[in-house]
Amino acid sequence: MATIAAEGLLAKSNNRGNLRRRYFVDRLLGALVTLAAALGVALLAIIIAYIVIKGLPAWNLEFFIGHTEPVGVAQGGVGQAIVGSLLMLAVACVLGIPLGIGAALYLSEYGRGAFAEVTQFAIETIAGVPSIVAGAFIWAFLVKTILGSYAGLAGGVALGIIMIPIVARTAQEVLRLVPDSLREASLALGIPYWKTVIYIVLPTARAGLVTAVVLAAARAGGESAPLLLTSLGNDFYNFDLLKPMSALPLIIYKYALSPYEEWHQQAWGAALVLIVVIGIVSLVTRWSVNRSARRLRG
Amino acid sequence: MATMEETTSTASSLLRRRGINPGDRVFRGVMIALSGLVILILVLLTYQLLHDSLPVWQAEGLSFIWSSTWDPPKDVYGALPFVYGTLVTSLIALILAAPVAIGAAVFLVEYAPPQFAGPIAFMVELLAAIPSVIFGLWGLYVMAPVMRSVVEPFLKNSAGKLPVVGGLFLGPSLGRDYLTAGTILAIMILPTVMAVSREIVRSVPDTQREGMLSLGATRWEVIQNAVLPYARTGIIGAIILGLGRALGETMAVTMTIGNSSRQISPSLFTPGYTLASGIANQFNEAGTGLYFGAIVGLALTLLVIAFLTNLVARILVKRTASGPVGATV
């Protein structure tokens, strides 16, 4: 087979016109795939450029500390949304960090057998649950049944569910990089396994675990669909987790669909806040992941 | 139990079997409890959606999925327009995104100098970090006007005149319709499909390429005949993974799809709903009764579709990444 194909190819390449055609096809498709990659980068650049150009004029002191005001009365700001985002993210972390890292630790340190497979399956499945479905679940479970009203707490729990698989999967990757020789060295000194995990494995993986949490929080912080169904939004400062609460993505949605030009501009301003935070988080985590991976691989 | 029987040489299991330290047992118990909570959340989620949507299944039966009348004032609920919108916008996204994503992945692995490949991939993957609502904002105020005044009239005047596909490009161009939502989705799933395809193309062994090159093939012939066939299953998996993302996207779609029409029409210039945007738009009116059950039913339908899609994608990606599929090495 191989020799026949080779002879065929040789016979073809003796034909000059055919060779020219093959070179042409080669160049053309090389150019096309280059263009595809360039398009991806260009899209990012265009979107970021729009957000910076349209969002920056909205930034001033009142934008950051004020809350939603009626159009024409006062400028107002998105302060209550920033506070709401932070509060709900804190709730999300209380749920997402222990469950995510706990499941990842179980899988990396003990993970054999049926229970481990079910845990892995649950993590992968929750990762694939659309965020609006997670929101609909908390809407039906907490808002409609247990709490009886839209609440920041419900929003935080919904975000926590979204954080769990992201934390767990990133943490699994990181824990896999901790060399077994470290665990064995510790055990050889007579240190119990649980102390080995707490004093050797976790500190070794610390940078990566922090990255896992920060990445997950950044993803959750940009979610709006689940918050819409659970925390609903609020025009005023609210620190009570049992009452409706605003968040940056929610206020972008509300302002973008409003008929007022002033609010549109604030929507772009809020989008810029989110993009700046997410951009910094992405760059810093990428840098720290590269560094810790290099260090662990030796 | 099975873990106890397994013969394994890791120090952890040796210690566990002998039960040297009671702390180990407690620690392991805590880890199992935390993992159990993760499983419990998934079980509770499925149960709650099943339980709360039960009234609508009892009232409508399975016709909830394929009946096309959605009329809350009369308490008649058929989810077909939502399912249809979800499938149409996701398909548009796939058709637009897949060639670009695969092309970019091939470029990164086969053409780009190594010192550029990382940064370029990072920049495209940053697209995936942009929140959905920001894509919606950009789609609503930047892309929709362009679609309305440039792209859609152009499509109507060119492809709209063709015999069969022409039906896709009928009617007034509104700028907020299936086509705009699908295009926004295409941008959103581009990084997902590209990142997974890149891993797959990278996992193709160099011997495949070398064999082809030694026969005198050009670079593209190597890609076409040695690399892509080997990676095919995995790339299909990557595309389906992108589909899984597109199906559940909410905010960007809600802001660009129009949310007004309820009839199913073949034209892509029709405003419509997807399952996700329907939930986001109507949950606030659906406080009680059958309407509430119907909205939860939409969520359950979306959950099932997304779960099956992701399951297929995972199987395909894992099969390729873990070794050759029907390929002779």
Number of cross-chain residue pairs from A and B with Cβ atoms under 8 Å apart: 284
Mean pLDDT, rounded, of chain B: 88
A252 neighbors A224 (Cβ within 8 angstroms): yes
- How much is the pLDDT for B73? 87
Residues of A in contact with B314 (CB under 8 A): 124
Cβ neighbours around A241 below 10 Å, total: 18
Q: And the tokens for A228?
A: 């819409």
Q: Shortest CB distance from A275 goes to which of B26, B44, B134? A: B134
CB contact under 8 A, B250 and A225: yes
Q: And the tokens for A177?
A: 């990089």
pLDDT at B68 over 90: no
ipTM: 0.90
Amino acid at residue number A64: F
Q: Kindly state whether A113 is in contact with chain B, defined as any CB-CB distance less than 8 angstroms.
A: yes
Nearest-CA distance B166 → chain A (Å): 27
Q: Which alpha helices (DSSP H) does B164-214 contain, by range?
A: 178-202, 206-213
Q: Kindly state whether A139 is in contact with chain B, defined as any CB-CB distance less than 8 angstroms.
A: yes
User: If 0-12 CB within 10 Å is exposed, 13-18 middle and 19+ buried, where does residue B185 land?
Assistant: buried
Q: Of A155, A166, A162, A178, nearest to A240 (Cα)?
A: A155
Q: How far apart are the first and last CA of chain A?
A: 45
CB contact under 8 A, B38 and A164: yes
- pLDDT range class, residue B3, cuts 50, 70, 90: very low
A84 neighbors A234 (Cβ within 8 angstroms): yes
B250 neighbors A130 (Cβ within 8 angstroms): yes
Of the residues B17, B28, B41, the best mutation for testing chain A's interface (the one with the most A CB atoms within 10 Å of its CB) is: B41
The span from the CA of B324 to the CA of B111, in Å, is 23
Residues of A in contact with B8 (CB under 8 A): 112
Kind of pairing between the strands at B70-71 and B76-77: antiparallel
Backbone phi, psi, residue A269, to 5°? -60, -45
Dihedral, A98, A103, A105, A106 alpha carbons, nearest 10: 130
B309 neighbors B117 (Cβ within 8 angstroms): no
pLDDT at B240 over 50: yes
The radius of gyration computed from the CA coordinates of chain B, to the nearest angstrom, equals 25
Q: Kindly state whether B128 is in contact with chain A, defined as any CB-CB distance less than 8 angstroms.
A: no
Q: Kindly state whether B181 is in contact with chain A, defined as any CB-CB distance less than 8 angstroms.
A: no
CB contact under 8 A, B250 and A123: no
Q: What is the pLDDT along chain A (298 residues), one digit of tens a residue?
A: 455 555 555 555 555 678 889 999 999 999 999 999 999 999 999 999 999 999 999 999 999 999 999 988 888 899 999 999 999 999 999 999 999 999 999 999 988 889 999 999 999 999 999 999 999 999 999 999 999 999 999 999 999 999 999 999 999 999 998 999 999 999 999 899 999 999 999 999 988 899 899 999 999 999 999 999 999 999 999 999 999 999 999 999 999 999 999 999 999 999 999 999 999 998 888 888 777 777 766 5
Q: What would the mean pLDDT of B317-323 be, rounded to a whole number?
A: 72
Cβ neighbours around A297 below 10 Å, total: 8
- How much is the pLDDT for B328? 42
Q: How far apart are the first and last CA of chain B?
A: 40
The span from the CA of A179 to the CA of A45, in Å, is 40
- How much is the pLDDT for B21? 78
Residues of A in contact with B244 (CB under 8 A): 128
B121-144 per-position pLDDT tens digit: 999 889 999 999 999 999 999 999
Which residue's structure tokens are 């789609």?
B139
Element (H, E) at B136: helix B132-138
Q: Kindly state whether A193 is in contact with chain B, defined as any CB-CB distance less than 8 angstroms.
A: yes
Backbone phi, psi, residue B28, to 5°? -65, -40
Residues of A in contact with B101 (CB under 8 A): 36, 40
Q: Kindly state whether A130 is in contact with chain B, defined as any CB-CB distance less than 8 angstroms.
A: yes
The span from the CA of B289 to the CA of B59, in Å, is 11
Q: And the tokens for B265?
A: 């029409």
CB contact under 8 A, A129 and B45: yes
B144-154 per-position pLDDT tens digit: 999 999 999 99
